[in-house]
Amino acid sequence: MNSSARLLDAPVIIITIALITLAARLPSFGAENPSTGRSATMRLDFFHTGNSSQELFSVDRILIEPLPWPGNPRRLIDLTNRGTYLFEIRDLSSGRVLYSRGFASIYGEWVTTAEAKRVNRTFHESIRFPAPTIPVKVVIKSRDRINAFREIWSTTIDPGDKFIDHSPPAMAGHVSEIQNNGDSAFKVDLLFLGEGYAASEQEKCEQDIRRLSKGLFSYSPFNERRSDFNVWSICAPSPDSGVSHPSRGLHRNTLFGSTFDVFGEERYALSFDNRAIRALASLAAYDALGIVMNSDEYGNGGIFGLYATVSIDYPTSIPTFVHEFGHHFADLGDEYYFNANVAYSPADTSVEPWEPNITALADRSHVKWQALIEPGTPIPTPWPKDCYETTSRKYQNLIEKMRAEGRPAGEIRQATSERGKAIEQCFSQGNYASRVGAFAGAMYETKGYYRPQQQCIMLEGDQFCAVCKKAIEEMIDLYSRP
């Protein structure tokens, strides 16, 4: 699942705040932590409420987290143009932007569902930034119908406000170092949180997270850029083991309220207790966040700038997480489209997406990944689409029938494996299989959107395509390059 897909009408938040950084050349930034000389980490928690036609925000609290700011002090402004939302930190007196980051949210996904046309819902959200030393304005923007950012909310923060909370988090967990390659300021800090592990399963939590981390760094470009990452884990006892699965009558009391069946899609799994997530995560440095669910059922999710989830004991948990991490870390769009079971309502028109690996191909001579297209590659690029769709339809019907009949999970997995082999046979017929081009079918729609290569882990494949690799490396650079 992709946090940002089909969000053409979702609002974007921009937050303006005067920040403390390590850079002496920016006088509005300063070090609040005498022992480290680093900026403190400020977090704004807020409530995001509304429906498909109305959107409201309200401040919950402002607090200082226990660890210094882990971000790159020399990459304060986000120029990647990613995310459904954007927040900016601005000097209140001059209006100068001091910090910005694109992001996405659960609300941003929910507002594109049919339910949002009938009811109101409220979601708890957070943004984190270097703590300011001067009053700042927080502005939140969202994408409009042509995917441009428009301001939808703002608030101000006075760093001297007596109500800013400096108390330590109530939650406690064991922080483990999986790999430490240096100063957090110039590394991507990736934090894994265990979810649904009882007190007796804490060792399993540690082992599962290490297995997942090893799996992630076996994929390119993460393997080549491994030295640019620090990796941490936090395991804490959950009241219940496992996670909730309402459609199967399973309800579990867990640390973060993780559940399958999100927005009516059985395989979509998210964690809804944002306060609890942030409290536990604040015990470690992090730029990216993975939630490792103690489950063997198929379920996952990935939201840009928020987190990626994975059901760790499902047989394909590693590639599944790598796909979702592509959403979470780099805002990659879903390239699958055929029989895509998603809750999002389709867009009325195909405007150019902001996701780096999807295009509406409005201008064939200026595709956003034009530099990677070899001369002579036709645009759009032919591929065995009919074979892929016929094969997918055949196995989709078979698997749905097997599930309706209550067939054993092993038989369904065997049918899924056979489907994969048949799909590979279709792909082998493509004349441009190894090239970058513009292949029809992406973003849950068979027409109107195009992906860069015939195969990619964001569709059906075992690796990222060339364009997705480049997009991931751009995000690694944002956090790790001086």
pLDDT tens-digit series, residues 311-347:
999 999 999 999 999 999 999 999 988 655 554 545 5
Would the pLDDT of 103 be above 70? yes
Give the CA distances from residue 422 to residues 24, 323, 334, in Å, rounded to whole numbers and listed in that order: 59, 21, 21
Would the pLDDT of 3 be above 80? no
> pLDDT-derived band of residue 412, with 50, 70 and 90 as boundaries?
confident
Question: What's residue 355's pLDDT?
Answer: 97
Tell me the backbone φ, ψ of residue 213, rounded to 5 degrees.
-60, -45
Would the pLDDT of 360 be above 70? yes
Which pairs with CB-CB distance under 8 Å and at least 24 residues apart come from 268-271? Answer: 268/1, 268/299, 268/300, 268/301, 268/343, 269/243, 269/293, 269/299, 269/300, 269/301, 269/309, 269/311, 270/106, 270/301, 270/303, 270/309, 271/195, 271/307, 271/309
Angle at 231 between CA 225 and CA 234, to 5 degrees: 160
The residue extents of the domains of the chain are 40-157, 174-330, 389-421
Question: What's residue 2's pLDDT?
Answer: 55
What is the arithmetic mean of pLDDT over 203-216? 98
% the chain with pLDDT above 70 = 90
Would the pLDDT of 169 be above 80? yes
Which pairs with CB-CB distance under 8 Å and at least 24 residues apart come from 468-473? Answer: 468/326, 468/330, 468/332, 468/356, 468/357, 469/220, 469/221, 470/356, 470/369, 470/372, 471/330, 471/331, 471/332, 471/356, 471/357, 472/221, 472/222, 472/326, 472/329, 472/330, 472/332, 473/221, 473/225
pLDDT tens-digit series, residues 123-150:
999 999 999 999 999 999 999 999 999 9
Question: What's residue 9's pLDDT?
Answer: 37
Question: What's residue 372's pLDDT?
Answer: 96
CB 237, CB 243: distance < 8 Å? no
**What number of CA atoms fall less than 13 Å from residue 7's CA on the CB side?**
32
Question: What's residue 11's pLDDT?
Answer: 39
Question: What's residue 97's pLDDT?
Answer: 96
What is the arithmetic mean of pLDDT over 236-240? 97
- Residue type for 35, please? S
- Residue type for 204, please? K
Question: What's residue 259's pLDDT?
Answer: 98
Q: Which tokens hold the place of 50?
A: 């509304």
pLDDT tens-digit series, residues 440-481:
999 999 999 999 999 999 998 899 999 999 999 999 999 998
pLDDT tens-digit series, residues 5-47:
333 333 334 444 444 333 333 445 444 444 456 799 999 999 9
CB 74, CB 149: distance < 8 Å? no
pLDDT tens-digit series, residues 70-83:
999 999 999 999 99
Question: What's residue 28's pLDDT?
Answer: 53
Record: fold of 174-330: Collagenase (Catalytic Domain) (3.40.390)
pLDDT tens-digit series, residues 297-316:
999 999 999 999 999 999 99
Strand-pairing partners, residue 92, are none
Separation between Cα atoms, residue 453 and residue 359, nearest integer Å: 12
Would the pLDDT of 376 be above 70? yes
Residues 6+ apart with CB under 8 A from 372: 436, 452, 466, 467, 470
**Per-chain mean pLDDT for the chain:** 90
What homologous superfamily is domain 40-157 in, according to CATH? Peptidase M64, N-terminal domain (2.60.40.3250)
**Distance from the Cα of residue 341 to its chain's centroid:** 19
pLDDT tens-digit series, residues 47-72:
999 999 999 999 999 999 999 999 99
Separation between Cα atoms, residue 164 and residue 55, nearest integer Å: 26
Strands 307-311 and 288-293: parallel
